[in-house]
Structure 1
């Protein structure tokens, strides 16, 4: 009986310790959970609610039920679908350049030397710069009238008259260049981290078997970097489709909606982009635009995940 009583006491003590540990764990998780609900779950539910209402915001008439009219309006909105096309041009244009460039820089600067450390810091520096400041700097550089780029090209005799870099014909290319300059250092660091995880003995074995640098890179290094490469591509795609600051600072979606992207188009219906904006806040329609844009981004994500699985099968 005494042994059984001791065993029962030990079990009760163990249960109390486990219960106390669970309470402590939930106590640590509670602040993050509350912030997640407040900053993520609630805004999503709020957006889904107002998709079905006509509402101009605080200080306007009370929300009016309109059913699916906001969603139907999105599908009739030519400017919105132009912004979708611009988003794809901007997003894939950025990704197709920034990923190979970041990988090339990572290959060059992978070795741990003093010069490489300084070069990595310089290339990474724009990543920690404010997007608004970066956009303003590039606005001054690419200004059509007194921008440094035009002054430099004219000084070299490459062009005779200033180019309107922020005009309809060149604004998208300017945005892509700005995005690449601001983000290539971030992806370069990811690639360097991935390269340093590649087993050196496998690369040496490939060289001993007669594989040259190109074959070693293609058949050994890149396949072994598959997991981190998938993460880098996912980050690049999602950031490109959600980029709004550069567009807002440099072009505000103009001229004539030539650089309008999905995120900025939805944003302007909640908050005026500038004092001269002709768009009237319409929370209901902005919510509908946001939902459709999220659905498009979700489709892109699903397609990417399927393609990444196929890459796993290839390698």
Structure 2
């Protein structure tokens, strides 16, 4: 065997375990779900072929379209606050300030905490009756009665706040990596030209962070649209569907829980809903790619 053929064989041997796992845990389940989109199947018995009836049901499913609306509200609220806040924190922690390593670790800590554990902690904090936050606000005289943080009026706001807290460390670290790749010579040249701090930020930092920022925005959009774990633990999509997002609705159809609204396993319909959900996320991602390319041509 030639040396080139041996190197090729070694490469395939190294990637074979990952390839097998990808095929078994990603590709096969997708193909399996694509098949059952056209069947009436509840997880037992013989699947009944029904053609496009599941997709027709999706178009008439008010609960699903309510989850789509909630997803966009949730994602917009998370992105509008998280990205600017992460950029500001990254700029501050990129400076030579005392204790910056400790601050970086503190802000990154939520990223390594389990989503379920994080949600349980916030249930204790935001509990309407004996929650830590309500007790603190009442002791300071800011409010006279407990606020129903997980009630119909405030549940979405609460879930967005928790999502922002959980995402800050990850995106801040990516911004920080981008900032550290900007040469200091450019800032010195801008200072010699008379630029102040704000002018250096807009004319040096932002343009040179462009490629990193595009990647971060893409990750933030897809993550926000797919997020549901903390919501499932906090509110299970309630109350009255106020916080039910797309992927939580799909989860309920595949894995029904007695305390959730869907208590019958619906694999066929869930596959159709999952396909439409993935299509929505894919279209938004492609739209963002198209917009990014247009902006690159302009600037």
TM-score normalised by the chain length of structure 2: 0.97
Gaps of 5+ in 2: none
Which residue pairs with 2:8 in the alignment? 22
The answer to whether the aligner puts 1:47 opposite 2:38 as a matched pair is: no
Q: Deviations over 1:191-229 (max 9, x none)?
A: 111100011111211121122111111111111011111
Provide the secondary structure at the position in 2 that maps to 1:281. Answer: coil
**Aligned with 1:96 (options 80, 86, 110):** 80
Rate the CA distance shift 1:114–1:194 in 2: closer, same or farther, 3 A.
same
Where does structure 1 lack aligned partners over 5 or more consecutive residues?
1-14
Q: Is 2:142 the counterpart of 1:137?
A: no
Contact 2:253 2:262 in 1 (8 A): no
Report the Cα offset of residue 112 of structure 1: 4.8
Aligned partner of 2:110 in structure 1 is 126
> What is the Cα deviation at residue 171 of structure 1?
0.3
SS at the partner of 2:99? helix
Give the corresponding residue for 2:48: 64
Distance 1:278 1:270, change over 3 A: closer
Q: Distance in 2 between matches of 1:33 and 1:142?
A: 44
Decide which of 268, 289, 305 is 2:289's aligned counterpart: 305
Q: In the alignment, what sits opposite 1:248?
A: 232
The answer on whether the counterparts of 1:106 and 1:189 sit within 8 Å (CA) in structure 2 is yes
Asked if residue 34 in structure 1 is aligned to residue 11 in structure 2, the reply is no
Of 169, 174, 181, 1:197 maps to 181
What displacement does 1:39 show?
1.4
**Residues 1:206 and 2:199 are matched in the alignment:** no
Cα RMSD of the aligned pairs, angstroms, is 1.3
Q: CA deviation at 1:22?
A: 1.2
Larger Rg: 1
Cα pair distance change 1:140/1:274, threshold 3 Å: farther
CA contact (8 A) 2:254 2:270 kept: yes
- Counting matched residue pairs gives 299
User: 1:253 touches 1:259 (CA, 8 Å); kept in 2?
Assistant: yes
- Runs of 4+ displaced beyond 6 Å: none
Q: 1:216 and 1:175 mapped to 2: Cα distance?
A: 36
Report what 1:218 is aligned to.
202
- 2-structure distance, mates of 1:274, 1:210: 66
**Does the residue aligned with 2:253 lie in a helix, a strand or coil?**
coil
Deviation at 1:277, TM superposition (A): 4.5
